[in-house]
Amino acid sequence: MIAPLTPQNVMEYIKDFNALGNQALKNLIEEANMRDDVLPPVQLEVGTLLHLLVFLQQPQSVLELGTGIGISTIFMALGLPKKGRITTIEKEEKFATYAKKNFIRMEVSEKINLVVGDVEQIVPTMTDSFDFIFQDSGKQTYLPLLDKLVTLLKPGGVLVFDDTLFPTFDLPERNKRTQRAIHRFNLEVKSHPDLESFILPFAHGLTMAIKKD
């Protein structure tokens, strides 16, 4: 696993100050981190931040790209207003099956519509609009899907992208293509006429953007 940007002693210190003291969710993350057959979920702190952002914005409709086993989806679901719903897309059937079980375990299933498929095929066909979008799927999909995600987002809506400080990490040669792709993506976000954005230097880097009215 790639070490987060934040020093370990800071992570240790803040972990007891989390707004979401949900032990069942902490257990779920610990279980996921111990497995080697799933990609790592968001860290507790990133999940808590997503939860707070959703709780602040009170979106009726959330779109997530890259469900994994559903940890980030659950963090957001627990911050939704009563009628809020999440559509989340995952291409790996096996992960989607785990995610469904986790949604039942955390009692959030009725808030979540899980779509199994490739975001590069599904997102371009979507027509619904969303108040909040979280992109955490394949890093090579970030740039090609950027304009479509901005179109799907309502004015005033929030877009969050995970892992956007990948270009700053000292990674092996096999990751260079992904690092270049994320760097090109960061440049596009910065100059996008419809977005105001900021890269939060936390975890692996989180870009937060708002669609201008």
Ligand X SMILES: C[S@@+](CC[C@H](N)C(=O)[O-])C[C@H]1O[C@@H](n2cnc3c(N)ncnc32)[C@H](O)[C@@H]1O
Q: For residues 200 and 44, what is the distance between their CA atoms, to the nearest angstrom?
A: 16
Tell whether residue 53 is a contact of ligand X (CB under 6 A).
no
One character per residue 88-107, x = contact with ligand X (rule: CB under 6 A)? -xxxx--x------------
One of 25, 28, 54, 68 touching ligand X (CB under 6 A): 68
Could you tell me if 86 and 62 are in contact, meaning their C-beta atoms sit under 8 angstroms apart? Answer: yes
Tell whether residue 62 is a contact of ligand X (CB under 6 A).
no
Using the contact rule CB under 6 A, the part of the chain among 63-71, 147-155, 184-192, 203-211 near ligand X is 63-71
Could you tell me if 163 and 188 are in contact, meaning their C-beta atoms sit under 8 angstroms apart? Answer: no
What's the closest the beta carbon of residue 185 comes to ligand X, in angstroms?
A: 14
Could you tell me if 108 and 85 are in contact, meaning their C-beta atoms sit under 8 angstroms apart? Answer: no
**Between residue 104 and residue 163, which ones bind ligand X under the rule CB under 6 A?**
118-120, 136-138, 141
Tell whether residue 31 is a contact of ligand X (CB under 6 A).
no
Integer angstrom CA distances of residue 151 from 64, 76, 81, 195, 196: 15, 22, 23, 11, 15
The overall longest dimension of the chain from CA atoms, in Å, is: 46
Interacting residue ranges for ligand X, rule: CB under 6 A = 39, 41-42, 66, 68, 71-72, 89-92, 95, 118-120, 136-138, 141
